[in-house]
Structure 1
Amino acid sequence: MGFLQNLKAKLAPAKDKVSGLAQQHGDKIDHGLDKAAKVVDSKTKGKYSDKIQTGTGKAKDALDRLAGSQDGKGTGDGTTPPSSPSPPSAS
């Protein structure tokens, strides 16, 4: 067994545990990310607002992937938001 395969085998249980925690506490993590972004933005006096928003968005996307949301549109708690109905077709 190669080094990387051995490492993946040993880290699999940790990944499962992190995924479960992300599903269970996703809303709290989202809130913490927003709060941290707001503090950093105020400390930098808005100079890096666009970069902070981008980083926060990427962190939330990563959280959604960890929580098991396949489409990247998760709510942070491992579920996806309800989809809006499709508009009626003009026939």
Structure 2
Amino acid sequence: MSFADNMKGFVDKGKQLAAENSDKIEDVVDKAGDFIDDKTGGKYVDKVDKAQEAAKKAIPDK
């Protein structure tokens, strides 16, 4: 197997694991956003919300 084949296998496995655990990943994204909002006093809440939405859209569907 070539290096490119190995990397494609790792990427495919990562996508599969992300799809299988999408609910857990979304929970972590929400908690991270809440943590940032808390630590910044909500100063960047709009930007944090946009980042959370983008992160959730990047999670593969089951």
TM-score, structure 1 as length reference: 0.61
* Alignment coverage as a number of residue pairs: 61
RMSD: 1.4
Task: After superposition, give the CA deviation of every residue in 1:27-63 in whole Å (9 maximum; x if it has no partner).
Answer: 0000010011001101100100001001111111111
Match of residue 9 from structure 1 = 5
- The runs of at least 4 consecutive aligned structure 1 residues that moved more than 3 Å come to none
Letter in 1 for 2:5: A
Larger Rg: 1
Q: Does residue 23 of the first structure (1) align with residue 15 of the second (2)?
A: no
User: Hey, what's the Cα distance between the residues in 2 that align with 1:56 and 1:42?
Assistant: 15
Higher-helix-fraction structure: 2
Q: Which consecutive unaligned segments of at least 5 residues does structure 2 have?
A: none
Runs of 5+ in structure 1 lacking a partner? 1-5, 70-77, 79-91
Instruction: Provide TM-score, normalisation by structure 2.
Output: 0.86
Percent of aligned pairs with the same amino acid = 34
Structure with greater contact order relative to length (CA < 8 Å, sep ≥ 6): 2
